Chain A
Amino acid sequence: MTNSQSDNGDLTGSPAAGPGLSDIVVIGVNHRTAPLELREKLAFSTHETENALNLLQESSHINEAMIISTCNRVEVLMVTSDSALAIETVSSFMAATKVISRTQLQQSMYVHAGSRAIAHMFRVASSLDSMMIGEPQILGQVKDAFKTAVTKKSTGLILNRLLHKTFSVAKRVRHETGIGGHAVSISYAAVELAKKIFNSLNDKTVLLVGAGEMAELAVEHLMRNTSTSGRLLVANRTFSVGVELADRYRGQAIHLEEIPEKLKTVDIIISSTGSPNYVIAKHHVKPVMRFRRNRPLFFIDIAVPRDIDPAINRISNAYVYDIDDLQGVISENIETRNMESIKAERIVDESVIKFTQWYESLDVVPTIIALRNKLTAISEMELSKTLNSLQHLSDEDRQALLKMTESLVNKILHDPTLFLKNPGSHRNKSVYLDFTRKLFNV
């Protein structure tokens, strides 16, 4: 493509198929193509996104645009009349604003166009392209990105329709497959198990023993599932660290020696100390069960070597899961997710075909042909009805009438055809094509 002299250069005098159809292009980097430090550099804040959208809108060959920026991906989705030029614009813009060399950017950048771009969007929003397949946040992030673009008025007919379709595909994938259904991280698995023991985590007290990173993650998930009535106790060898952590969740720090006493009142124990011996032994737990009136006690042991005596699992109403047990739950769940993702890919494929059909209908030539076919069919039918009741006409008369209806159709179609081929300097021809199709129901 070299026609950079005019933004609608491809619209004038190109009656053949193809050029009238602007292209959907997605260009970006994700966790597979770019290392974290590059993604961090490229990431757009909401404010930056808004500015970038303003700039992209000024460029004449980009009709519609939106920017998705998460910790795992930075992508620009656009509808363009000249994809080569648009890609060039976006990548030079990125290189300039983010101060990255063009070669580095090009190495990690991918470009999808047409139905591959559509499929890409569907897969991203359905979390099939995520680092952890089925993770639920991405759909919300795409929705936010779309909202930002809509408020900036940088989207139009095609992206609006594409994104709405994208959301419904993502919803279908979530509903009809189990890709989001099972926990695939230690902390999620622990929470899921806790929910199989306790009816609700709302009023439960959590005791955290030791303050490792993984334990904190598990606590965070648990506390998110408990309301304000849930409580957190932190027991740590260094008391001050415990106090600090407890403060973060409005909990209370205790000394390690207090643990056996506290077992009477807590419900869930998460342990991750560096201790070489068991921190909680069977003889600590056995006597408290009577005091607890057999309310269940759930131990989550994520320390290596283990902190909780596995023999505690044999006490009734006490349950112990160590890191291997949780890992077992997770690997099984990951397998299920991968199997379910095959179903999800099928849903995506189906939807891409449907969307591509609509999208291609926005091309000028098929629209004009469809319009002509409709008018010809009407005139032929009406003509044959009329001729049936006028049996006395000669063959010449009949030919003359046929000629007349044909030229009627041609005359009627003349102006709309011209207009659709070149609707003036308006950039968004698709709107008129879509409208025409709706107006004539073709």
Chain B
Amino acid sequence: MASILFIIIFLYVLSSAGYILFLFAQKQQYHRLAYHTLLAGFIVHTALIGYEFFRIGYLPAQNLHQTLLIAGWSLAGVYLLLKYRYRLNILGVFAAPLTAAIVIFAFCVPSVAVAPTPLFKSLWLVIHIIIIFLAEAALALACGTGILYLIQENAIKTKTNRFFLKRLPSLEFLDRTGYGFIVTGFTLLTIGLITGFVYAQLIWGKFWSWDNKEIWSVISWLIYAALLHGRLVSGWRGRRAAIMAIVGFAALLFTFFGVNFLLEGHHDEFTK
């Protein structure tokens, strides 16, 4: 198992190197290399998760090692999918290294065996987990696009940094793409939260139990809701939208890690 994980890491790292080379040299062959290795890594990664799923009979998202693998898998998958929609090749410079980092992190934490309970077998849970991670991946890409926007905006404003000015696309394009990612991510996040509530109702008999993770998820959701509302009603675009996308993702990261390490709640065991 470790050796397959090693192959996946190797492919993701190679892809990251390709994207970084592409950023500097701007040669299409580096982009092709980066894209195809990322795709190859994603395929092996999918196979690994699929194999685990069938071996243990439920979605392998019970400990930190497994959830990180799912997170990395969603990020690579969502990037590969949305790349066709938005044609923002340079975003790979953000997506591929982040995917590689997540999977390397997963490699470093041991996979603690968790006693299977019937709790895990619900279809609602599978849908809840997968959709939440896909949402987080799309919102991570929105955050990456926001960072690219701020870099490019800074290059244009200060008139000094030609390196990024030449390499990054136009502000309007970055803004529109980031918005697209947020709409996708927000929609998935909403569905993910609803399925979570339904699952909670089925298991514990109540939709809402003031669990820390629930609270922080809703806070993140509210941030994105505010961002979308601001854009539609008072035209929050450009710089402000980019910053909000980054803040929103920080809240999501806190929901994922911070809550588990710093606070307590019923999602606890998934991240031990």
Contact = CB atoms under 8 A, between A and B. Distances in A.
B170 interface: yes
B152 A296 contact: no
A196 B165 contact: yes
B159 A325 contact: yes
B176 interface: yes
Contacts of A332: 162
B151 to A, nearest CB: 12
B159 A198 contact: no
Interface in B146-185: 152, 156-157, 159, 162, 165, 168-173, 176
Contacts of A294: 235-238, 240
B239 interface: yes
Interface string A312-328: 01001101010001001
A197 B238 contact: no
A195 interface: yes
B239 A316 contact: yes
A296 B157 contact: no
Nearest to A194: B170
B172 A197 contact: yes
A332 B152 CA distance: 18
A296 B157 CA distance: 12
Contacts of A317: 237-239
Given A196-B156, A332-B162, A316 B238 contact: yes
B117 interface: no
A166 to B, nearest CB: 26
Chain B CB count within 10 A is highest, among A294, A321, A329, for A294
B157 A313 contact: yes
Interface in A252-277: none
A319 B172 CA distance: 13
A147 interface: no
B167 to A, nearest CB: 10
Interface in B170-221: 170-173, 176
B3 interface: no
Contacts of B173: 199
A199 B237 CA distance: 14
B157 A198 contact: no
Contacts of B240: 294, 316
Interface string B91-108: 000000000000000000
B162 A196 contact: no
Contacts of A295: 235, 237
Given A196-B171, A197-B172, A325-B159, A296 B238 contact: yes
A371 to B, nearest CB: 44
Interface in A349-408: none
Contacts of B169: 196, 199
Given A196-B152, A197-B156, A321-B159, A293 B239 contact: no
B225 to A, nearest CB: 19
A292 interface: yes
Contacts of A111: none
Interface in B226-272: 234-240
A274 B152 CA distance: 33
A193 interface: yes
A251 B239 CA distance: 32
Nearest to A196: B170
A195 B234 CA distance: 25
Contacts of A328: 159
Given A319-B157, A321-B159, A325-B159, A198 B170 contact: yes
B238 A199 contact: no
A251 B156 CA distance: 29
A317 B239 CA distance: 7
Contacts of A290: 234-235
Nearest to A328: B159
A193 B238 contact: no
B153 to A, nearest CB: 8
A110 B240 CA distance: 61
Interface string A185-214: 000000001011111000000000000000
B169 to A, nearest CB: 8
Interface in A296-318: 296, 313, 316-317
A296 B159 contact: no
Interface in A159-200: 193, 195-199
B172 A296 contact: yes
Contacts of B234: 290, 293
Given A196-B170, A196-B171, A332-B162, A319 B238 contact: no
A199 B235 contact: no
Nearest to A195: B170
A54 to B, nearest CB: 47
A199 B168 CA distance: 12
Given A319-B156, A332-B162, A197 B239 contact: no
Contacts of B237: 293-295, 317
A371 B157 CA distance: 69
A325 B235 CA distance: 29
Contacts of B157: 313, 319
A294 B236 CA distance: 7
B159 A197 contact: no
A295 B238 CA distance: 8
Interface of B: 152, 156-157, 159, 162, 165, 168-173, 176, 234-240
Interface of A: 193, 195-199, 290, 292-296, 313, 316-317, 319, 321, 325, 328-329, 332
Given A195-B170, A197-B172, 10 more contacts: A196-B152, A196-B156, A197-B156, A197-B170, A198-B170, A198-B172, A199-B176, A294-B240, A316-B240, A325-B159
7 contacts: A196-B168, A198-B172, A199-B173, A290-B235, A292-B235, A293-B237, A295-B235
**A-B complex: 10 closest residue pairs judged by Cβ atoms:** A293-B235, A199-B172, A199-B173, A317-B238, A294-B237, A316-B239, A294-B235, A199-B170, A325-B159, A198-B172
